[in-house]
Amino acid sequence: MAKLELQNLTKAYSQKIVPVKDLSLSVEDGEFLTLVGPSGCGKSTILRMIAGLDQPTEGRVLIGGKDVNPLAPGDRNIAMVFQSYALYPHMSVQQNIASGLKLRNLASGDIQKRVQDASRVLGLDPLLDRKPAKLSGGQRQRVALARALVRNPDVFLLDEPLSNLDALLREQVRADLKQIFEDQQSPVVYVTHDQTEAMTLSTKVAVLSDGYLQHLGSPNEIYKTPANRFVASFIGSPQMNLISLERVNNAVLLGDSKVDLPANLPAKSSVIMGIRPEHLRLPREGDHQIVQGNVFLVENLGMSDLISLRVHGDENLTLRALLPSDATWSRENLKLALPPESIHWFDTQTEARLN
Ligand SMILES: Nc1ncnc2c1ncn2[C@@H]1O[C@H](COP(=O)(O)OP(=O)(O)O)[C@@H](O)[C@H]1O
Ligand SMILES: [Mg+2]
């Protein structure tokens, strides 16, 4: 089948603009890899190199074990879906879906069968005779997806395909995408700046920043043990609390509260402590690491309240915590437990994970 491999890929547009730096990774058949990172971190450049729309400055792209660097985009059997749907305005939905196939000399019966299959999967059957102008944004994106699916490509590439949809529709199409690609055998590389999409869709996530691969792992791995401070702050919503603290013997002081460091942590004079808002909780019996403070902001998220706490003993120290909306607590002198197993420790200088 068609495993995709990127070997030491680098793209330099000039000495100063190097959006992709020595990237190596592979995507197996049936895997869904998401490249996620802030705008400008090199995601689209990586896709363009896989598709052959851009030549790497260094490194190789292999599909099914074959070096495709010398191949033109049209010879790579790749299907690409963009943020802008790029449909032909004068063609019907049916013709748009089939347009990816016409160029490949397929029998017309075969074309029809593939178009029918894809339009059924994407719920486009009632729309086959319409022109794109008569479709909503979500429907247009489905047509673009159907056009990619009918091609039966060796590799699927999707570049922020949901960005033009409003929030509600984005959630629906995201769920559709997940179902559709669970049944596909070819590797998928999906680009987004949205960490929720990365977490929900992928079997594997590559977090990128500044052209470098920061962490490659399953959604669970990058959520539970982020490799560095950047990954910790980028993945997870609301964002992880990250605080630089001086070390005092084998602990740090969080305002008036003491937080023990794990025994195996390297000897550093300062550390960055991280804890996710969803892991700070109202104390239970047996909790011994407690932080206390005053709540100065409550944001109602429906299922839970996102509270901001000013920590006693340090005016500048705030923590955000998610508390179930049916919990009872007081804004003054609120105590929250810091479960030791939920705390992340990072190096102040290198920002790499320490525990
Ligand atoms: N053709 C080009 N010439 C020069 N710089 C480019 C070109 N294409 C992209 N870049 C730069 O490369 C960086 C990464 O771009 P891109 O891969 O599009 O980022 P992303 O998709 O992650 O938002 C950006 O700083 C962008 O300005
Ligand atoms: Mg992009």
Q: Tell me which of 11, 44, 234 to substitute to probe ligand 1's pocket, judged by most ligand atoms within 8 Å of the beta carbon.
A: 44
Does 352 fall in a domain?
Answer: no
Residues 152 and 287 in one domain: no
Give 236's contacts (C-beta < 8 A, 6+ positions apart).
195, 223, 276
Q: Tens digit of pLDDT per residue, the chain (355 long)? A: 689 999 999 999 999 999 999 999 999 999 999 999 999 999 999 999 999 999 999 999 999 999 999 999 989 999 999 888 789 999 999 999 998 786 667 778 888 888 988 888 888 999 999 999 999 888 898 899 899 988 889 999 999 988 888 888 888 889 888 988 988 889 999 999 999 999 999 999 999 999 999 999 999 999 999 999 999 999 999 999 999 999 988 899 999 999 999 988 888 889 999 999 999 999 999 998 999 999 999 999 999 999 999 999 998 999 999 999 999 999 999 999 999 999 999 999 999 999 9
- Report how far ligand 1's centroid is from the alpha carbon of 143 (Å): 27
pLDDT score, position 51: 95
- Residue 63 in tokens: 């599909």
- Report how far ligand 2's centroid is from the alpha carbon of 83 (Å): 9
Residues 39 and 159 in one domain: yes
Ligand approaching nearest to the C-alpha of 19: 1
Bridge partner list, 31: none
End-to-end Cα distance, the chain:
39
Residues 40 and 154 in one domain: yes
Dist. CA 176–CA 174, nearest whole Å: 5
Give the burial string for 109-136 (b: 16+ CB within 10 Å, else e).
Answer: eebeebbbebbebbebeebbebbbeebe
The strand pair at 188-192 and 32-36 is best described as parallel
Question: 6 and 25 in contact (C-beta within 8 Å)?
Answer: yes
Dist. CA 95–CA 112, nearest whole Å: 10
Residues 227 and 320 in one domain: no
Supply the DSSP string of 150-173, one letter for each residue.
Answer: TT--SEEEEESTTTTS-HHHHHHH
pLDDT score, position 86: 84
pLDDT score, position 1: 64
Which atom of ligand 1 is the closest one to the Cα of 54? 1
Residues 21 and 78 in one domain: yes
Does 353 fall in a domain?
Answer: no
CATH code of the domain in which 90 resides: 3.40.50.300
Domain-ending residue, one of 204, 234, 264 = 234
Ligand 1 atom 9, closest CA: 45
Residues 340 and 197 in one domain: no
Pocket (CB within 6 angstroms of ligand 1): 13, 17, 19, 39-45
Domain-ending residue, one of 234, 260, 278 = 234
Tally the domains of the chain: 2
Domain-ending residue, one of 189, 218, 234 = 234
Residues 214 and 314 in one domain: no
Note down the domain range covering 313.
Answer: 241-347
Which atom of ligand 1 is the closest one to the Cα of 211? 14
